[in-house]
Amino acid sequence: MTIVLSILTQLLHIALFVVAAPTLAGAMDWLDARFASRAGPPVLLPWHDLLRLCRKTPMAADNVSPIMQFGPAVALGATLSAAALVPSFTLGMALSPLADVLTVASLLAVARVAGTLAALDAGAAKPGLSAQRSSAIAVLAEPTLLLSVTGLSLMAGSFNLDMMIVQQREGILLPATASALVFTVLVALVFADTGAVDQTADAIYSGTSLAMVRMTGWCRRLVLLNLIGGLFLPIGMAADETGSAGWAAGIFAFLCKLVVFGVGLSAIQTLAGRIPRRSLPDLIGVAALLALLAIVLVLASGGMA
């Protein structure tokens, strides 16, 4: 029975995630416009875009390999896999034994690599530039993500996400200073991820491939937000043995967190403006140093071993 329930929660989590990713993107676009005193696009516009793109005749360059055809699907698959491993509304899902935080970070890297290889396979100038830019940013951002999750794992004594979240809920993920530093780093990475969004996807993909690329970007942002929400705000998340009432409360808490994150991100972006691409190395560099500092603090405090 427990196995059936864990599978059920896992499926529910994936469905919730797939529904939430485009909706959050639409809501944030609407919020950005509202903060700028404009009417804003419909919240469900991303869904319309996805349907429209799936109906279009796909176009492909000559002389491309299957990488170009399947790259966007692999990228989406890897991102969805990462999403499936990060708990949203309950712990103890079917895939929780696989929910290794290093694996999650690496699956996001796999998704990026698949997209980059597909862009290079197009054999044109603009996709190549896009691939170069995404790779250059990733050389800074991916180690920073790895370092930050390593800092948390050093506190928890494990790389497993469920165990880390449980310890955070019980208040034993110490020292709190290091935890706060890692929180700052992850928030900085979300902003960097938003700033690094490449607008040249339209020049590389079309039809369903473009729809998958857009969905991958939305899912990636939601994975990072969910990671922050799970690790630092595990409020309302249902425990292993909680029934449907606990799940409903968990889903409500998850949606509330998304609203808070969405409003917060849009507000900060309106106030401070989007981070220009040329400033991303500075932002990520500082975030990496903060992550390193968090690790030193954890080790020096003789925390969980």
Partner 1 sequence: MSDPILLFLIIDVVALATLGACVTRVPTTASGVLTAAVCGVGALVCLPALLFRLPDTVLALPVGPPGMALHMVLDPLAAVFLLTIFLAGTGIAAFQATTAPATDQPSLQVTIFCIAGTAFTFLAGDGVSLAFGLALSCATIRKGPIWLIAPLLVLIAVCLLTPAGDAPQFDTIRAAPPGLGRTTAAAVLTCAAVASLAWPRAGARCWCHDALTAGVVLPGAAYLLLRVITDLSAAASQGWWGSIVMLTGGVVTVRQGWRSAEAADIDAIVTALIRRQAGLALIGIGLTSIARAADLPGAAAFGLRAVLLICIGGGVAGTLASLATHAIGASAGTFRLSRLGGLVHLMPRTSVALSAAILALSALPPGVGFASLWLLFQAVLSAPRTGGLLVLVPLALIAAALAVSAALATAASVRLIGVAILGRPRSPRGSGAQESAAPASTILLAFAGFSVVAGVLPGLVLSGLADPAIRMLAGVPTSPFAVLSLSGASPGYLALPVLALVALATIAAILLARRPGPEGKFAGIWADGMPPPFGLPFGEPAAQSTGAGFLPVLPTIPVAGLLSLVPKPMRVSPAAWFRSLRADGTGTTKSRIAPIRPPSAIAGIWLVLTAFAGLLLVLAVTG
Among 182, 212, 258, 275, binds partner 1 (CB under 8 A): 212
**Among the candidate windows 19-27, 64-72, 189-197, 230-238, which touches partner 1 by CB under 8 A?**
64-72
CA-to-CA distance for 54 and 74, rounded, in angstroms? 17
Q: Could you say which residues in the range 121-140 bind partner 1, by CB under 8 A?
A: 121-129, 131-133, 135-140
73 binds partner 1 (CB under 8 A): yes
Whether residue 90 contacts residue 247, with contact meaning beta carbons closer than 8 Å, is answered with yes
- What is the Cα–Cα distance from 237 to 21, expressed in whole angstroms? 19
Cis peptide before 87 (omega within 30 of 0): no
- Interface with partner 1, residue 88, by CB under 8 A: no
- Count of residues touching partner 1 (by CB under 8 A): 91
**Nearer of residues 151 and 250 to partner 1, judged by Cβ:** 151
Tell me which of 33, 45, 163, 263 binds partner 1, using CB under 8 A: 163
Of 303, 304, 302, 232, nearest in space to 264 by CA? 232
Minimum CB–partner distance for residue 56 and partner 1 (Å): 8
CB of 221 to partner 1, least distance (A): 18
DSSP secondary structure letter of residue 58 = P
What is the Cα–Cα distance from 52 to 193, expressed in whole angstroms?
26
Tokens of 115: 């997209």
**x/- track of binding to partner 1 for residues 42-61 (CB under 8 A):** ------------xxxxxxxx
When asked if residue 150 is in the footprint of partner 1 (CB under 8 A), the reply is: yes
What would you measure as the largest C-alpha separation in the chain, in angstroms? 59
Closest by Cα among 28, 50, 47 to 212: 50
**Contact status: 77 vs partner 1 (CB under 8 A):** yes
| Sites for partner 1 among residues 216-275 (CB under 8 A) | none
